[in-house]
Chains A and B, each alone.
Chain A
Amino acid sequence: MPLFALVDCNNFYASCEALFVPARRRRPIVVLSNNDGCVVARSAEAKAMGIPMGAPWFRIERQATRLGVEALSSNYALYADLSNRVVDILSTLAPALEVYSIDESFLDLSGMSGDPAVLGALIRQRIADWLGLPVCVGIAPTKTLAKLANHCAKAGLAGADGVCDFTAMPAAALSRLFERIDVGEVWGVGRQTRERLAGMGIGTVRQLRDADAPTIRARFSVVLARTLRELRGDSCLALADMVSDRRQIMSSRSFGARIHDLSDLQEAVASHVARIAERLREQDGLAGVVQVHLQYALAGGGARGVSRLLPLPEVSADTRVLTRQALAALRALYRPGQAYRKAGVMLLELVPAVHRQRPLLAAPGTGMAVGAGAAEGRSEPLMRVLDEINRRFGRGTLRLAAEVGAQRWRMRCARRSPAYTTAWEALPVAQAR
């Protein structure tokens, strides 16, 4: 029987920010999007104060500061490093895993012996011990249910101590639980779908699960019909089968033959980047983090996957910037002598391009953002030309030769904490006194 777990870090950015700073423990903190625009993450204490997700900081700054809320700029260097460590730990505890986002991974537990809830508790304990980060674990026979179980663990609706195992619950209890959960919590049910479902009288997870499948398929899509089957425990999505989600874009492909050389992998990775960067620009997005994943054949048969996240210096949709980071991630992963079967690239932490608006005026008391406009001015028309030529004359007509000279621009990130784990000059200081 298929069995999946979804491991999700609680308030991931805020937890990362508190790891090295004791004064931030159990304090209200918020993390701001690039250019210190909107609230993109909150600690539990900030959530409890009612600070809404997405709130523009300039609007709530005065009141929040008075309440003792600390605001921080996004520190993707720190988050990506800790995310990679979580994945490293998980990959020693489960045979197969899919990195779903910077703070979520699916594990395939099919065929593992023992109580899955015990494994869930071990995962939670180990990540708390080794990394000081709290996680919740949802366990179920399908990915959609595992994600829902995770929600239940996090919200304290079911399970215990941050682990919720649907396979250990009787069917009647599960049905009662699903009656209490809004259908909007289901993976892949967006706001529009939720509204249309409401119009049909479907407001809870239970109502969707028990809805008439042919009607759902006819009125919505094959995708939602598949979600319905997954809610009933019928596993349709394997690891790495993505539910379309505008928060990330992925391109991945198996090779016709085994690949050994770094240069061949570089070519594959660069072409994946070119494809997804174009898609990113089509949806007017910018990416914060690039992930590269590889799969290699094991000597005794089977395969093993590895992955590495790397942050971008700033959110970007520039193929050159994305390629540079993807190739750096590839170099970190590559081991000579492995027979690679598959490579892929994912863009994560997507934000709408409007989030990176040029600051028109310097905010009082802060430095003016330097150079943001200038770099943008060069990058966006260039990328438009690139996309246009490729559309007209076929994909790949115009490609990047290699790395174009390093181009860095500075956004407003006055509140950024140090890159504690990735820069020598930023190591946390231990007082010897």
Chain B
Amino acid sequence: MVTILPPPMRLLPLDIAGVSAGFPSPAADHAAQPLDIHDYLVRRPAATFLFRVRGDSMQGAEIFDGDILVVDRSVPARHGHIVIAFVNGERFVKRLHRQGGRMALLAENPVYPPLEIRDGVELEIWGVVTGSFKRFAV
């Protein structure tokens, strides 16, 4: 879907809208804040936790070994969400499948079979993954 912004262009940061020497612009009070990566990734700080990924089973979802996951516990887990799940005493990152009476945790890599949740499996959907990030070693 394409959103058309009404003129004038609202997204232009005001502090580059014009440079005038001498008087401070009255618009300076509304100067755009620098972009904050934390604000972008974390919507509910109180409910957000970070996890480190170990393994390659989620690479189909652009989640790679060593990435850091943003997990927001305020988001109710639904079918199709990527989640942190505690299964039989271990922490996993998986895609939640919950449809048509079937409950399973899916990998995003054909090498790894789905984990079917049947009676006797100890499962806790810990939180919903809402983002991921990494820093390159430079």
A432 at the interface (CB under 8 A from B): yes
Listed stretches B5-13, B56-64, B96-104; interface member: B56-64
Does A229 sit within 8 A of B, measured CB to CB?
no
- Given the known interface contacts A429-B52, A430-B52, A432-B58, the answer about A22 and B91 at a Cβ–Cβ threshold of 8 Å is yes
The residue in chain B whose Cβ has the minimal distance to the Cβ of A89 is: B46
Tell me whether A429 and B46 are in contact in the complex, defined as CB-CB below 8 angstroms, given that A22-B86, A130-B73 are known contacts.
Answer: no
- Cα distance, A85 to B73, chains bound together (Å): 12
1/0 per residue, CB under 8 A from A, across B23-66: the answer is: 00000000000000000000011110111111111100001010
What is the bound-complex CA distance between A427 and B49, given in angstroms? Answer: 9
Residue from B46, B54, B73, B74 in contact with A431 in the complex, judged by beta carbons closer than 8 Å: B54
Instruction: Report B-chain residues with C-beta under 8 Å of the C-beta of A431.
Output: 54-55, 90-93
A433 close to B (CB within 8 Å): yes
A16 to B109, CA, bound (A): 33
Q: Are A88 and B45 in contact (CB under 8 A)?
A: yes
Asked if A22 and B52 sit within 8 Å, CB to CB, the answer is no
Q: List 29 A-B contacts (CB under 8 A).
A: A20-B91, A22-B86, A22-B91, A22-B124, A85-B47, A88-B46, A89-B46, A130-B73, A130-B74, A131-B46, A131-B47, A420-B49, A428-B52, A429-B52, A430-B54, A430-B84, A431-B54, A431-B90, A431-B91, A431-B92, A431-B93, A432-B57, A432-B63, A432-B92, A432-B93, A433-B54, A433-B57, A433-B107, A433-B112
In the assembled complex, the CB of B12 is this many whole angstroms from the nearest CB of chain A, namely 25
User: CB-nearest residue of chain A relative to B61?
Assistant: A432
A132 in the interface (beta carbon within 8 A): yes
A130 with B112: in contact, given A429-B91, A431-B55 (CB under 8 Å)? no
Give bound CA distance, A23 to B90, whole Å. Answer: 8
Given A22-B124, A432-B56: A427 and B68 interface contact (C-beta under 8 Å): yes
B52→A432 contact, CB < 8 A: no
B122 contacts across to A, CB distance below 8 A: 22
Interface size class of B (residues with CB under 8 A): 20 to 34
Given known contacts A89-B46, A421-B49, A129 and B74 CB-to-CB distance under 8 angstroms: yes
Partner of A130, one of B47, B57, B89, B107: B47
Please classify the interface of chain A as helix (H, G, I), strand (E, B), loop, or mixed, using the class held by over half of its residues.
mixed
Q: For residue A433, which residue of chain B has the nearest CB? A: B55
- Which residue of the partner chain A has the closest CB to B112? A433
What's the least CB distance linking A77 to chain B, in Å? 14
Question: How many angstroms between the C-alpha atoms of A88 and B45 in the bound complex?
Answer: 9
C-alpha spacing A427/B93, complex, angstroms? 14
When distances are taken between beta carbons in the complex, the residues of chain A under 8 Å from B93 are 430-432
Instruction: Verify A427–B86 contact, CB threshold 8 A.
Output: no
Closest to A431 in B: B92
Interchain nearest-CB distance for B137 vs A (Å): 13
Residues in B whose Cβ lies below 8 Å from that of A427 = 50-52, 68
Contacts of A20 in B (CB 8 A): 91
Q: Are the C-beta atoms of B73 and A131 separated by less than 8 Å?
A: yes
Interface string of B101-123 (1 = CB under 8 A from A): 00000010000100000000010
Query: Are A430 and B91 touching (Cβ within 8 A)?
Result: yes
Question: Does the CB pair B55–A432 fall under 8 Å?
Answer: yes
B residues within 8 A CB of A129?
A: 47, 73-74
A428 in contact with B46 (CB, 8 Å)? no
Partner of A132, one of B57, B63, B68, B126: B126
Q: Decide if A23 touches B46 in the complex (CB within 8 Å).
A: no
B61-96 CB contacts (< 8 Å) to partner A: 63, 65, 68-69, 73-74, 84, 86, 89-93
By Cβ-Cβ distance, the 4 closest A-B pairs, closest first, are: A432-B55, A130-B47, A22-B86, A430-B93
The smallest beta-carbon distance between B87 and chain A, in angstroms, is 8
Nearest residue, chain B, Cβ from A88:
B46
Quick check: B73 and A430 within 8 Å, CB to CB?
A: no
| In-complex Cβ contact of B73 among A23, A25, A132, A429 (8 A) | A132
The answer to whether A428 touches B51 (Cβ under 8 A) is yes
Q: Mark A15-59, 1 if CB is under 8 A from B, else 0.
A: 000001011010000000000000000000000000000000000
